[in-house]
Chain A
Amino acid sequence: GAVVSQHPSRVICKSGTSVKIECRSLDFQATTMFWYRQFPKQSLMLMATSNEGSKATYEQGVEKDKFLINHASLTLSTLTVASAHPEDSSFYICSASGGPGNTIYFGEGSWLTVV
């Protein structure tokens, strides 16, 4: 199956700093990428949808100035958490569509801890 890679898998940052998470589709061109966050024992919460070359569409309640999404190419999307705070600590997951059968494939996820 298609592969989506996220990096880093774990990151610890100080409160007030910014952190970037990358999402790459390794063997297909991802026309659309999705970013989610997931709290323990809860389901995925969609944060935003991005199409290559366009501005991301954010879900209601998600601060676009805090969660900056860039989908600069058909294989790379980045999520930057600006001025992170402890409440931003979470599991962030990306997914990408455009692969075989237009299935949506997920990255491995990134654990963000803000101290």
Chain B
Amino acid sequence: GAGVSQTPSNKVTEKGKYVELRCDPISGHTALYWYRQSLGQGPEFLIYFQGTGAADDSGLPNDRFFAVRPEGSVSTLKIQRTERGDSAVYLCASSSQRGQNTGELFFGEGSRLTVL
């Protein structure tokens, strides 16, 4: 499809396990973003990539969270030693060059993470 693709759509894991969430942005979009949405809340910024580099990772809650975008397209969000409080929907978004300045983001459907 032409939109942002996220996999898996649902992930159930046990406390302490390692999790990877994948995002495939819209073709040609240079910027990629990860947001986290807890139940009943709005999305919360985690990290933003411009090309291959993390331009701003100030929203990552702690060092258990890490994200990469090695070829400037697909990105993976990695969570180590998961905790129950990590349970949320992880949203990926991408934008064109213009969208970086205007906030016009295209979101995927999200990966729902449940930590038991």
Question: Do A and B come from the same complex?
Answer: no
Which of A's residues lie within 8 Å of B, judged by CB?
A: none
